[in-house]
Amino acid sequence: MFVDSWAWIATVNPKDGSHEVAKAAFETLKSEGVLFVTSNLVLAESITYLRREGVSADAIAGWSRNLSTASENGNPRIVDITAGDLLTTFATKPRFGDKPDFTAVDITIADFSRANQIRRIFTADADFTKIGMGFVLVP
């Protein structure tokens, strides 16, 4: 299951309106043994948003340490989206030109997930259903 910024932000930020739902869903999925995948771009986007929302540097650092430890143990798997990957996505796939609200990160998530046969995305971002690739949103 690919973890989008929405899930990280909602799980980490206790002031987020979806905090309890995201936290409960994450714990349930983890207990079911779901393998999570996320990307460096998603993490950068999440940290930027958390900082803008006033989440303390200590809370972000603690989350980052926990995520790093969990990643070293294999869950989540953090994939590196390179500059080349990003440029290739936009140079060869102009199909989202009519959807200016889709972020570059969302489009790379969609492409990565499709290429790796990942159908479920941990997010409440409805853009992933509008992309038209058959993704199932969780929670």
Q: Report the pLDDT averaged over residues 79-92.
A: 84
Helix axes 5-12, 19-31, angle to 10 degrees: 110
Rg, the chain, Cα only: 15
The residue extents of the domains of the chain are 2-138
pLDDT classification of 97: cutoffs 50, 70, 90: low
pLDDT number for residue 94: 60
Q: Which CATH class is domain 2-138?
A: alpha beta
Q: Mapping DSSP to helix (H, G, I), strand (E, B) and coil, where does residue 81 land?
A: coil
Q: Which residues contact 30 (CB under 8 A, 6 or more apart)?
A: 75
Q: Is the pLDDT of residue 41 over 70?
A: yes
Q: Is the pLDDT of residue 30 over 80?
A: yes
Higher confidence at residue 15 or residue 130? 15
pLDDT classification of 14: cutoffs 50, 70, 90: very high
Give the predicted TM-score (pTM) of the model.
0.91
Distance separating alpha carbons of residues 29 and 136, to the nearest angstrom: 14
